[in-house]
Amino acid sequence: MAGTLWLVGTPIGNLEDVTERARRVLAGADVIACEDTRRTRGLLTHLGIRAPRLVSFFEGNEERRVPELIEELRRDRSVALVTDAGMPAVSDPGYRLVAACAAEGIEVDAAPGPSAAVTALALSGLPTDRFAFEGFLPRRAGDRRRRLEALTADPRTLVVFESPRRLPRLLGEAAEVLGDRRAVVARELTKAHQEVARGNLSELAARFSEPPRGEVVVVIEGAGAAGAADLGEAAERVRELTARGVPRKEAVDAVASQAGVSRRGLYEESLRPGRPGSGVEPEEAG
């Protein structure tokens, strides 16, 4: 008979946010697999729980740890999986352990807890009916830009994690690629120095021109109907400028900055035929 893998949500900042169920599961676990054993040991001490066997489980050693933990579960032992903060298996290598348990027919259960992504979304004031969680965007500039470009037309609110060090670059690139949309930078959620900064991407890029301290979640407005209308009007201005002899790239750069829309989206939209009666004819092919 196999044991149960428990996914245990832990506080994202304020230790008062741990649930009674999470406390009970951690106290009864035979093994706790955790991102940082020192941090988890500190949480257990705060909760008054005598630490069972702690096993490190993080990006880089999960390939070796998964078979070891599966073997523990086969021996009818209870394994609790935690991260340093929030829900395990979400933007986290823990999903590989969950997948392995599912393949083995081993029971997986959850003692749910806080999530930085959902907390930031709820605090943002941006639409919450549909959202896309992107986790951490690629670190390499070209890959990150391509990922942002792929999200240009996505109407859902976007939620991303980012390191404080790369935050200024992300905000600037997002403003350039997605357009100057509304956004929120949520920093140090539930902690003493929590900050929820709202504004357009360009405003936030200026505000966080220097990397801040602490954990960061960025929430960005999706591409909506209003944005599409703005893009159409901006494209008309680009066509007017190109009809006067302004190079298309220069026209797109100028209008995109003024209108707060995506340069790539504006360039592509400006290549479509002008609105009837606008007095602007599409450029001749070739």
Q: Give the pLDDT confidence of 34-59 residue by residue, as tens digits.
A: 999 999 999 999 999 998 899 999 99
Say what the pLDDT of residue 153 is.
85
Say what the pLDDT of residue 256 is.
81
- 284: in domain: no
Residues of the chain with pLDDT under 50: 225-226, 277, 281-286
259 and 187 within one domain: no
Give the pairing type, strands 4-8 and 107-111. Answer: parallel
Say what the pLDDT of residue 98 is.
97
245 and 155 within one domain: no
Contact 119, 128 (CB under 8 A): no
- 179: in domain: yes
How many Å apart are CA 75 and CA 16, to the nearest integer?
Answer: 34
How many Å apart are CA 29 and CA 50, to the nearest integer?
Answer: 11
Say what the pLDDT of residue 227 is.
57
Q: Average pLDDT over the chain, rounded to whole?
A: 91
Say what the pLDDT of residue 286 is.
37
Q: pTM of the prediction? A: 0.78
Q: Which residue, 98, 114, 130, sits at the end of a domain?
A: 114
199 and 154 within one domain: yes
Say what the pLDDT of residue 276 is.
55
How many Å apart are CA 78 and CA 80, to the nearest integer?
Answer: 7
Say what the pLDDT of residue 233 is.
84
127 and 88 within one domain: no
Among 165, 189, 212, smallest CA distance to 116 is for: 189
Say what the pLDDT of residue 280 is.
52
Q: Which residue has the tokens 């954990």?
A: 215
- Count of H helices and E strands in the chain? 11, 10
Q: How many domains does the chain have?
A: 3
- 23: in domain: yes
Contact 116, 161 (CB under 8 A): yes
Give the DSSP H/E element, type plus range, for residue 202: helix 201-207
Two structure tokens written together for 32: 């706790």
